[in-house]
Amino acid sequence: MLSEELRNKYQLIIGLEVHAQLLTQSKMFAADANEYGKSPNTQISAITLGHPGTLPKVNRKAIAFAVKMGLACNSEITRYNVFARKNYFYPDLPKGYQLTQDKGPICVGGRVPVQLPDWTKKEVILNRVHMEEDAGKSIHLADEPDTLVDFNRAGTPLIEIVTEPVLTSPEEAYAFLSEVKKLVKYLDICDGNMEEGSLRCDANVSVMLKGSAELGKKVEVKNMNSFRNVFRAIEHEHERLVGLLEAGEEVVSETRTFDADSGTTASMRTKEDLNDYRYFPEPDLSPVVISDEWLNAVKSTMPLLPRELYKKFVEEFGLPEYDASFLTESKDVALWFNKLCTKTQNYKAASNWMMGPVKSTLGDYSLSDDYPISHEILAELIALVEDGKVSYTAASQTLFAELMKSPGESPMDLAERLNLIQESDESSLRPIVEEVLASNTAKVKEYKSGKKGLMGLFMGQVMQRSHGKADPKVATKLLTELLEK
């Protein structure tokens, strides 16, 4: 652990490079299926394998997806896009080069607002979002002497989101990644699955003396397969780099690999043996020009973004930020809740239902299709509780579970059938309240001499005698009335 003093002496700086695999049906430059988890080397074509004489063709959908991301990040969209060959040799790169964008990325600049754990907000400035294709995969099995190669992934469309060196803590890096994951899922352009490698992140880390005008030398850390591990890798590098500087040593610009078991990093290659990729424009592809019509067509498919819904939930619905944060965490929940709020005006109650009973069913059911309870039914349930017809306990426990089993049934009918309608009628509750007070004369005296806490005991007995059906609001009113007499 770094001492407080060293934390104050040095400034940690992080820049992230995030790769997101796009959810297109076919590959970036070929018609083979872009599908994860298929038998090795079945999702490949001569184009993907770079056989001589084959010609790549651009996937329009992938371009549109990259533009969507740029629009969501307020980037400037480049209209005239050129692909470049990045040349290097690797067994999982059959063509001997990767098609990417070098100068002139499709999205220039931009910013992603993120929320930190202490509820403060920060705008993370982007350098760019560019398009490229994925490589195949080398597989090193434990008991195999040989390395195996699976080309299925080769040619999968990717966007790479590159931040400026503006993040200053592992918490900020984590928050940024969470926001990017949320964004790509809302936009429906990537499934955001880090375990399957659909979302991958390299972290560039440096430290410098606080107040210094020049950034320190950076290291790039690779191979973190979860947000948590990105966090750990940054923490580890923070300590290691400060340790180096404190010992009077120099930081070497290098690429390091993270080991999740030990939580440490090890050098992979230094910048000295950096490849010269010899970028040059891909001669087999004509530039992709994004016309006004195309750009407008993409704009018209933009969904509501999580931050827009967040703002609406807080400002229009008056919900606490905590609620808005939960409600916008997943697109399914956000859109479902947003629609629920066209059926009820009781936004806070609706939010509580989402955070409680609805959430507890989301392991088994999905809100994106065929959720057993409709917006209308849940709105009715909320109204039943609000009108004092059914207690929240009865509604959220019994009625809700019954409605999950028999979709379409009317909550009111069901409540009647299950005998859950509350006694909110004063004239029928009054005798019960009177009985309770009559059988507790000693306690009533204590109450009247100041022990107001006894109210709970009277309420409990009213509930018991009414078999849980007394409307607490009405019962409290009657009790207060009779006790203050």
Q: Residue 94 interacts with ligand ADP (CB under 6 A)? A: no
Instruction: Supply the DSSP string of 140-191, one letter for each residue.
Output: --TT-SSPEEE-TTTT-EEEEEEE-S-B-SHHHHHHHHHHHHHHHHHHTS--
Rounded to whole angstroms, how far apart are CA atoms 105 and 158? 13
Structure tokens at 428: 């029928």
239 binds ligand ADP (CB under 6 A): no
Quick one: angle between helices 331-340 and 321-329, nearest 10?
120
Euclidean distance between CA atoms 189 and 185, whole angstroms: 6
Query: Is residue 204 a contact residue for ligand ADP (CB under 6 A)?
Result: yes
What is the nearest approach in angstroms of ligand ADP to the Cβ of residue 307? 22
Residues of span 335-394 touching ligand ADP by CB under 6 A: none
Q: Is 215 in the site for ligand ADP (CB under 6 A)?
A: yes
HEC profile of 290-329: CCHHHHHHHHCCCCCCHHHHHHHHHHHCCCCHHHHHHHHH
Q: Is 244 in the site for ligand ADP (CB under 6 A)?
A: no
475 token code pair: 């019962």
Contact region with ligand ADP (CB under 6 A), list: 86-94, 201-209, 344-352, 414-422? 201-209
Interacting residue with ligand ADP among 45, 100, 163, 265 (CB under 6 A): 163
Token readout for 46 is 């001569």
Residues in the chain: 485
Return the residue of 57, 74, 125, 164 that touches ligand ADP, per CB under 6 A: 164
Decide whether 73 or 384 has the Cβ nearer to ligand ADP: 73
Shortest Cβ 16–ligand ADP spacing (Å)? 6
| Total residues interacting with ligand ADP, rule: CB under 6 A | 15
Q: Which is nearer to ligand ADP, 216 or 411 (CB)?
A: 216
CA–CA separation, 196 and 198 (whole Å): 6
By CB under 6 A, tell whether 162 contacts ligand ADP.
yes
Enumerate residues 245-264 that contact ligand ADP by CB under 6 A: none
How many CB atoms are located within 10 Å of the residue 92 CB?
A: 16
The nearest distance, CB 200 to ligand ADP, in angstroms, is: 14
Question: Half-sphere exposure (CA, 13 Å, Cβ side) for 150?
Answer: 15
CB of 150 to ligand ADP, least distance (A): 27
Q: Is 165 in the site for ligand ADP (CB under 6 A)?
A: yes
Given the DSSP bridges, would you call strands 137-139 and 148-150 parallel, antiparallel or unpaired?
Answer: antiparallel
109 binds ligand ADP (CB under 6 A): no
> What 3-state class would DSSP assign to 448?
helix
Residue from 10, 15, 48, 235 binding ligand ADP (CB under 6 A): 15
Least Cβ distance, residue 243 to ligand ADP (angstroms): 17
**Among 7-15, 41-49, 63-71, 357-365, which window interacts with ligand ADP (CB under 6 A)?**
7-15
Q: Strand, coil or helix: what is 395?
A: helix
Note whether 130 binds ligand ADP by CB under 6 A: no
The answer to the question of residue 206 lying near ligand ADP (CB under 6 A) is: yes
The set of long-range contacts for 269-273, using a CB threshold of 8 Å and a minimum separation of 24, is: none
* Residue, CB closest to ligand ADP: 15
**Which spans of this chain sit near ligand ADP (rule: CB under 6 A)?**
13-17, 162-165, 204-206, 215-216, 218
